[in-house]
Every structure is written in structure tokens, then in C-alpha cells.
Structure 1
Amino acid sequence: MLALDHIVLTGKNVEESSTKYGRRFAIKAIKGGEHEEWGTYNYLAYFSNDSYIEWLGIQDSQIANNSNNPLIQHLVYALENDVFGPFQFALRTNEMDNYINHFKEKNIPFHGPFLGQRERPDGTILTWRMLFPVYDYTKEMLPFLIEWGPNASPNGPSAKSLSNPQAIMNLHYGGVDKEQFKHIYQLKPKRLIKNQFSLQNSKITFNGEQILKFDLV
């Protein structure tokens, strides 16, 4: 089963945004690192259910504007149109190759996988792969799949000593057809609550709105 990996937020100044968010909700955020190949950088806040928030900002606009990575393209569009806050999220898998085969067999258009890496403060290199079902980021959003490399912990890049006690227990999501979502990600809705999908560590509630929200408890 898929797990919630992280939610991506942006703003005019992501360091400032992460600091303000931390003060408001009593959480600690740390500088993640730089992605030179995409012209971006991030700040991160880890949570007890092996998920995290990523504040993603642009460091080199020329590189970012020319990126073929759908997440970076979506980020550029969001900032150009003053769309701040949560705009994308990632679902964690350790079976990305199976999803690639699923997409091919079911004629689901996709981009990737894209390879990513960044250097940790201790000098070790963190690697991952990202897979994107095709969507029109000017109108909708489909979450991307992420698979972490061998230097990550079993549930992603977080260290327990950096985790906040809170957890992201529910995402409120909409803007795409629920049956389409079910087909793409091979998830089944709950029996009694038909507008919810269960994840390993959280749940997704379809709200019929295009604005992405989440509950931090």
C-alpha cells in the first residue's frame, strides 16, 4: 500500500514561511538542501507518522524555468500566479517499477522516473526517484510517486531525532475524478466512507475542491 511521503508548499520566501509556520504550530523545521539540477532548495519539517512538509523555493530561476521535471514546472507556475501554500504531495512506494508497468499496461500517460539527489549536512548523498502521472497543472493536480534510495531510512529520509510529535493524518483533496484517482494509484476507498482512501500512515478525503489542505494533529 502507498504511504503519504510529504506535502509540498511554496511561498515568496520559503525560509520565512517555514519559520512562521513553525511558530504558529509549534514545530521545528530544518534546512533540507539544494537541488542544483532543478535550481531549487527546500526546508523540511518531519512528523511522527513518517511524513513531512517540504517548503520548496527557487534559487536559480533560469534553471527552474527550463526544467523538464513536472514538479518544478508546477512550482514555477504556482509562484508566477501567486499560488502560495500547499500545491502538491507525494505518495511513497517501494514498488515504482510495478507502477511503471501498470501505467504502461493501462495506457496511463506519465513522465519519469526522474532521479533526484541532495547532500545531507553530514556529507552523505540522499537519492530518490519520482514518477508523475500526466496532469495539467494549470487546472488540476495528481500526486507523484516517490521511491527513496538505499541511504534513506525505511520510511523515507527523516531522522527520528528531527521528528515533531504531530502527524499528518488526513489530506483534503479534489479537482480530479475519484474513479480516475483510484485507477491510477490502485487504491480502494473505505467501505463505509466512500470519499476516503486509506494510506499506510494517513488518509485522503475527497472534498470536491481544488485547494489542497491537510490536518496536522
Structure 2
Amino acid sequence: MTAYIDHIVIAATDLNDLVTRFTQLTGVEPIPGGRHDFGTANALVPMSTPEGSYLELIGPDPEADAVTEDNFAIASTSTKNPRVAGWCIRPEDLGKLAQQRGTRTEAMSRHTPEGTTLSWRLIVPERGVDYAPVPFAIDWEDSPHPSKIAEPKAGIHSLKVQGAESFEVEFPVEFAEGEPYLELVLDTPKGQVNLKDI
């Protein structure tokens, strides 16, 4: 089954601080994405490479009481440092992939600053971990893809995934053995940037 990189999650306990750090490091300003129903908010960075992908900068929603579901390695992990926390693929058939993994899909949504609601189905990421090397997966159904929010000003140079078995994805991801970790290098207006420095 063909799968594509949909987005990569950069997580932190303070979204505004994360956006500032990212902008200073890369020269690219993330775009407000909106709020989730489970207590988080995000900002988006469309990527030119691979086409149709983006970065999701995510953190607790300052207007919410609490993060109610720790799907994105924020609320109950051992580290509070900003990090490349997980990655998401877009398979040709989400239901078939869920069946192969012995799991199910969940319906989710996000409310954009413009007042619209995006809906999708997801094989959720591992909860409560600092790094999730096994990708979660998404089907955007009829919602517009977030990578179209603006013209991309950066691209993914390389992605190294440590601690997961390799599989075929339509981008040259480097898989390695070891403790779970993700290393992301971007091509940006400020040159190549390794997000471990964020």
C-alpha cells in the first residue's frame, strides 16, 4: 500500500514560544491553524518537499481548561522541551491499514481561526511518549488539506526515524535501530536547519 508523509508534529508545552523559536530558527513564520476539541491548538508550516506535506506545531490551547487527550505527546511525557514528537502518513486506504495494524480509526476535528471546521479520520499516535517513531495515519475525507493554507517557504531535507521497523513511504525516510527518536532537517530561507536545535 502506498503511503505519503502527511505531516510531522513538533510539540511543546507553550505554543506561542514554539512559534517564536521556529520563526527565529528558520526564517519562516507558522500560520495559526486553530483549536482541537481535546485541549490543544496548533500552527502550520506548509512544506514544498514532499509536496502536500506540512509541519504541525502543537501545544496546549491557552483558552482550554486542560489537555483532555494526550494524543500528541504533550500532557504526560517526561520532557517539557520542544521536540519532533511524531509523524503522520496518508495511506491510500486508511481502513485497510487499521485492519492490518489490528486497530480502529477515530473521527476528529479542528476549528480554524476563520470559523470553519476541518474533519478527518485518524489512526491515533501512541499516547504519553516523548517520541512516537511508529507513524499514525490520517484520511482527510472531504476537508481541504492543511498544506494548502499558504505557499510553502521551506521543505523537508531529511527525516530519520529511530526505534521503528522500516516500511515503504513515498519519501526517503531513514530508519534506524535504537531508542525512539525523530530527527528532522529542513531546507529553509536560513539554510539547512536541524529541529533538534529548536
Scaled by the length of structure 2, what TM-score is found?
A: 0.78
Identity across the alignment (%): 22
Give the Cα separation in 2 of the matches to 1:133 and 1:81. Answer: 17
8 Å contact kept, 1:45–1:163: no
Higher strand share: 2
Structure 2 residue aligned with 1:75: 74
Unaligned runs of 5+ in 1: 105-109, 188-198
Give the Cα separation in 2 of the matches to 1:102 and 1:54. Answer: 26
Deviations 1:39-70 (A, max 9, x none): 111111111122111111112464x2x42xx6
Answer 1 or 2: higher relative contact order, Cα 8 Å, separation at least 6: 2
Matches within 5 A, 1:95-174: 95-104=93-102, 110=103, 112-132=104-124, 137=129, 141-152=133-144, 156-159=145-148, 162-174=150-162
Question: Which stretch of structure 1 is more off in the superposition, 52-61 or 143-152?
Answer: 52-61
Structure with larger Rg: 1
1:134 shift after superposition: 6.0
Counterpart residue type for residue 203 of structure 1? P
Structure 2 residue aligned with 1:192: none
Aligned CA distance change for structure 1 residues 139 and 12 (closer, same or farther; 3 Å) = closer
Counterpart residue type for residue 159 of structure 1? K
Higher helix share: 1
Secondary structure of the 2:71 match is helix
Give the Cα separation in 1 of the matches to 2:155 and 2:76. Answer: 29
Matches within 5 A, 1:38-117: 38-48=38-48, 49-59=51-61, 60=64, 62=66, 64=67, 66-67=68-69, 71-72=71-72, 74-78=73-77, 80-104=78-102, 110=103, 112-117=104-109
| Aligned partner (choices 181, 184, 192) of residue 211 of structure 1 | 181
Secondary structure of the 1:20 match is helix
Scaled by the length of structure 1, what TM-score is found?
A: 0.72
